[in-house]
Chains A and B, each alone.
Chain A
Amino acid sequence: MSATTPRTYVPRNVSVADIERLVGMGHAREGAPADSIAGVTPRLVVEPASTEEVSEVMKLASQAGLKVAARGGGTKLGWGNPPEALDLIVSTARLNRLIEHSAGDLVATVQAGINLDNLQAQLAKAGQMLALDPPGHACTIGGVIATDASGPLRLRYGTVRDLLIGITVVLADGTVAKSGGKVVKNVAGYDLGKLYTGSFGTLGIVVEATFRLHPLPEAVRTVVLNVRTPAQAGEFVGAIGRSSLVPSALELEWAHNAETAALYVGFEGIAPGVEAQAEATMQLAKTYGECHTVEAEEAQDDIWRRLRELPWQHSEGVGLKLTCVPTAVPSLLHALLTGTGSNRCLYLRARAATGVILAVMAAGAPADFAARIEELRRVAGQHGGSLVVLHAPPELKRAVDVWGPVGDALPLMRRVKERFDPNRTLNPGRFVGGI
């Protein structure tokens, strides 16, 4: 996107002062290049401080026909298609409170703009955690929900959908609507929390969320095994699956041109428990290759902090997310590793027991890139999975459909969007099928 100048949209009849009347002086401003999303600069940025203010802002925005995007920590704003249009960014920066932590009930309610690390630090005081480890330390809860971001721990605890028990959202027209509640078990009404999770801000702006929490583990252990081929990695992962071991995370890391790949198996629990599991894992791993156990807490922290981050963070490459059934991970890795030239893989990471692969690929010419994506999509599709282009320069993103095919439910997804946001106020064009 470097070649062209970002275009600024001119919203109808709305000035900074108009918005300031809703949120107070100094909490709305002109957009700047730093606010751009995939090269599109908003004219206005607002930082509301309450659900009511978000609602007032959305009423005004939808009446004026502004196109709106919500912003949390800004760590994953590049995901999805570039926006078709963008007039106003609603930042959740001032919606950053832990509203309630009911430790005895293992439940916490937060505002959407709270920083995840900050939240974890507060929960840790009571020996608890929100069992999510998405990439991006600046990320906010709202952003994690909207992008359905997850990390290695999903193997044990699941993803946002498994932990979110209540949510409040402001719809495009300013309607404030909640679903779920503050108790872990609850089937009253539709579970809209799941609908909003991973909807990339196209249905509403998340303002509040309630999560079920977990106790912080007393002890952790990490077993590292070196493997030579994807098939060997697959065999080991299969053996773990058939055993009665309960790993919290199982990550495979494969750097380009490396002779071997490392498989990291993480355990959480009480000290004697993780020791026993690590020991059993070592016994199993020995027959596959060189292995060792990491006990020092700091060393383990380093490993998992690294594995949680997106591998393309500090790379020139393109970032892909592929999914498949777990047993097909070796086939997909094989397909990725056979890429050459501008399509070669620089780095691979696999949540091997879940069926998620994060790949960093060299960024080639748009036509080559598109052909390669097509090819990889076919392989992923054969194994029930998908490929999403998460991180790429806009000219490559525009060469492909970043989401890929979504199957026969796409018309239904469009109907959902039409009902929730008929005027396409929120994040137009960014989601699947141009939603």
Chain B
Amino acid sequence: MSVAAEKNTAIRTRGVTKSFGRGESAVKALKGVDFDAHCGELIMIVGPSGCGKTTFLSVLCGTMRADEGSIEVFGTDIVHLGTGTLTAFRGQNVGFIFQQFNLIPTWNIVENASVPLLINGASRRTAETAARTLLAEIGLGARLSAFPSQLSGGQQQRVAIARALIHEPRLLICDEPTASLDAASGRKVMELLKGTACRPDRCVVVVTHDSRIFHFADRIAEMEDGVMKSVHKPGEYNPQYV
């Protein structure tokens, strides 16, 4: 592989496996996943429910340990990082968007969006100023003192996007970001992701089985039963499992 290609590589995994449970009831969720993603792209991972997408995302961003295999994220071998270093690595390099938003209900949206900066040691003032600016940019400037429960699902997911981007992580991990949203809100969220989150030095990984948003992807990786089956261009992809 050339130096230029390596520089362009955001994620590279080889032979990643992960099982849950032991003995007879053990579930082999990942059976040797090889996966590559590049800087500047939005790559989707699709596949039927239970095929291991979420598990793969978890080991990819280091919230869960893989059993075997190698995982490199922007050149860092995260398999061999200690727990503390791995946690700090996530704090600095990974932004998260979840299906369930996971906003903290007792904090207003500015506080929610500022959390990653606070975790990384920024002052409250710096963090909240940055959060206000970013929330205004994504169209929530009028609701800055609102609490998550006062917002619609689409608006909450936009707060989550602000939270995921505030510390300018290089890797953005999104697990079913539109699954809890109606079609219009889902499209808005994806437009926002595509427009604000995608940058030449950043890689956005979106797990989904929402075929309405496939066209936002640069590439689509199809997973099946714990392995990556194939990679497609969005226009050429016609999922068989739907």
Tell whether A and B belong to one assembly. no
Binding site for A on B (CB under 8 A): none
